Amino acid sequence: MNLEHFWLPFTSNNNFKRLSKPRIINRAEGMYYYTIHGDKILDAHGGLWCCNAGHNRKEIVEAIQKQASELDFVPSYQMSHPGTFLLSNKLVNLLSNNLKYAFFTNSGSEAVETALKISLAYWELLGRKNKKIIIGRDRAFHGTSFGGMSVGNLMTTKQQFNRFLPDVVHLSHTHNLEKNAFSKGQPLNGLELADELTEIINKHGSENIAAVILEPISGTGGVLIPPIGYLERIKKICTENDILLIFDEVITGFGRLGKPFAIDYFGIEPDLLCLAKGLTSGTSPMGATMIHKSIYDLFMDLNGVELWHGYTYSGHPLSCAAALATLEVYEKENLLNINKEILDYWEQGLHSLKGTKHIVDIRNIGLLGAIELEQTEKNPIRRAVETFEKMFHEENCYVRLTGGNILTMAPPLIINKEEIDKIVSSLETVLNSID
């Protein structure tokens, strides 16, 4: 197979294309990937945080096939198809709050971009044109559009580019190894970091700030879990200062925390909610921005086109079919409310690795987990890279390398105890084998 002409994203292409057994997958089922070399790989990362229902679910595959045989494509500009309305109704019912309207996109990046544009347009419509500043957070990842990169602040994704949105300010991240290492669930320390938002408001003026955007859990940043009470205080400050709150639940949505959404887990209602990944269990590209009724109603007072924004494939028929079938699987198997026994077993399994060579922190919440490794002096990420490669090629287990020296895990919600044991034992074996 000639590997030359595909430029892999977020990959050292030179290294990948020189591998004796490149990581090329040609089949998947349930919890497993199968490579072209005949290896069976336990997927401990749900693809890319997205295959929540597991791989190659018959119900979802058949729904996509049926839709493809009936309607391949119709634009959502001045027309649509039944799937967009059925899916938006399903999502609204699943949320059961004031997020009553869905704007469909093709990815989490586009869902974020949509939320940012709506938040700015909202204040324009109200005649409050000074409200332009958007507040993000350090070590956040909100996709790879210029908007998402601007409000995110994961430097590895920004270092090659030097053109970003103006009027963006960042809160500090909440990760504190000294005080919170080896926390189970939310850390106890760090609530006071939310007060930095008040300091930013005092400096710039609430009359100039449009929105705050946060991931409830910073996934790509390394599964950074907010301290107890932090998100609740952020919400309170936003409400008191007339600032919109955007939650990016591209990773945490659809059961990842053991509840349908992080907003259910934390009991917070944002003004805009970004979804993707688990929406179709990774089977078809799709995202959605859920919009508070009060925001939508303001736009509906306009004559003509209310929002000059959209995408060719917004609400694509195949993606809608995939999402509808995925939501049916979640409902039928109650996957969005994960059994506490499995969550506890996952937590206990990960934290049993405390004391293993090179580990400086273990973090978990819901079916998310991260292991942070001690950096080496000459090559800070060497151990993490070596662990990732050995896990895949020697232990037949896929975990993700992110944030430099961090390994993250987000297995499909169908995982069982034996598979958790496999992930934990493989990590122990590999970490004890490297210098």
Q: How far is residue 179's CA from residue 186's CA, in Å, rounded to a whole number?
A: 12
Its pTM surpasses 0.75? yes
- Same domain? For 258 and 353 the reply is no
Distance CA 170, CA 372 (A): 24
Beta strands in 20-150 (DSSP E): 25-29, 32-35, 40-43, 99-105, 133-137
In this structure, are 320 and 341 located in the same domain? Answer: no
Pick the residue with more confidence: 157 or 30? 30
Is residue 4 assigned to a domain? no
255 pLDDT higher than 90: yes
**Residue 46 sits in the same domain as residue 31:** yes
Q: In terms of domains, do 38 and 138 share one?
A: no
Range of the domain at 253: 62-333
Joined together, the tokens standing for residue 114 give: 């949509």
Does any domain span residue 128? yes
Query: What pLDDT is recorded for position 404?
Result: 80
Q: Tell me which of 284, 301, 333 is where a domain ends.
A: 333
Do 308 and 268 lie in one domain? The reply is yes
User: What is the average per-residue pLDDT within 106-132?
Assistant: 98
What integer is the mean pLDDT of 312-339?
98
| Neighbour tally for 128: CB within 10 Å | 14
The tally of domains found in the chain comes to 2
- pLDDT tens by residue, 376-398: 888 889 999 999 999 999 999 99
pLDDT of residue 114: 98
Residue 26 and residue 152 in one domain = no
Query: Is residue 5 one of the residues assigned to a domain?
Result: no
Residues 88 and 152 in one domain: yes
Q: Do 122 and 245 belong together in one domain?
A: yes
Structure tokens belonging to residue 190: 């760090």
Instruction: Using DSSP bridges, classify how beta strands 287-292 and 99-105 pair: parallel, antiparallel or unpaired.
Output: antiparallel
- Is 8 part of a structural domain of the chain? no
How far apart, in Å, are the Cα atoms of 245 and each of 125, 176, 210, 234, 273?
18, 24, 9, 9, 9
Instruction: Confirm whether 402 is domain-assigned.
Output: yes
The residue from 313, 333, 353 where one domain ends is 333
* Residue at which a domain ends, from 333, 349, 372: 333
What average pLDDT does the chain have? 97
Distance (Å, whole) CA 315 – CA 76: 7
In a domain, 1, yes or no: no
The CATH number that applies at residue 384 is: 3.90.1150.10
Is 3 within a domain? Answer: no
Task: For residues 93 and 99, give the distance between their C-alpha atoms in angstroms, rounded to a whole number.
Answer: 10
pLDDT for the residue 252: 98
State whether 247 and 172 are in the same domain.
yes
| CATH code, domain carrying 156 | 3.40.640.10
Same domain, 175 and 237: yes
| Residue entry with tokens 């887990």 | 265
| Residues 46, 108 within the same domain | no
The alpha carbon of 282 is separated from its chain's Cα centroid by a whole number of angstroms, namely: 12
**Does residue 239 sit in the same domain as residue 95?**
yes
329 band by pLDDT with thresholds 50, 70 and 90: very high
Q: Partners of 212 in the beta sheet? A: 135, 245
Q: What is the pLDDT of residue 203?
A: 98
Q: Which of 294, 256, 356 is CA-nearest to residue 49? A: 256
